[in-house]
């Protein structure tokens, strides 16, 4: 079990080509023994965007704060806090900050492989105290 605030999680740069003024916090991932999927918070500053790209896995997105444009090969659509977006695998997509303040959205993705939780702390190298 883990309970924390998103602001307590390390804010990391997104350095992938095509990303601009975009950062990420990995809220729930394999580090927490999440077996199937990871929850990340993206933070896109004013004027920033994620890359226009596609990949083999889906996105399940929920917009927490701000205003944006969701770009696909079919055009652009505005979105705002309270909206959710499903991006199919292999669909071209981009998230742009279209407002004057920060854009924050959750983006859940599947693990490449299911994580099997070990009950033996020695196996994970975490048994460094009693």
Footprint of a copy of itself on this chain (CB under 8 A)? 1-7, 27-28, 32-37, 39, 58, 60, 62, 64, 70, 72, 74, 77, 79, 82-89, 91, 93, 106, 108, 110, 117
Nearer to a copy of itself, 15 or 113 (CB): 113
Residue 35 CB partners (closer than 8 Å, separation 6+): 111, 114, 115, 116, 117
Nearer to a copy of itself, 14 or 40 (CB): 40
Residue 128 CB partners (closer than 8 Å, separation 6+): none
Minimum CB separation from a copy of itself for residue 111, in Å?
A: 9
Tokens representing residue 41 in the block: 């918070």
């Amino acid at each position: 079990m883990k309970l924390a605030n998103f602001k307590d999680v390390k804010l990391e740069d997104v350095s992938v080509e095509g990303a601009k003024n975009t950062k990420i916090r990995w809220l729930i991932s394999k580090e927490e023994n999440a077996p199937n999927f990871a929850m990340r918070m993206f933070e896109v500053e004013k004027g920033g965007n994620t890359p226009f790209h596609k990949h083999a896995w889906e996105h399940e997105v929920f917009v927490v704060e701000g205003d944006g444009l969701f770009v696909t090969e079919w055009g652009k659509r505005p979105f705002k806090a309270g909206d959710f977006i499903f991006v199919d695998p292999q669909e071209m997509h981009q998230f742009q900050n279209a407002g004057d303040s920060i854009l924050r959205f959750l983006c859940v993705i599947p693990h490449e492989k299911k994580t099997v939780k070990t009950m033996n702390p020695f196996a994970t190298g975490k048994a460094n105290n009693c």
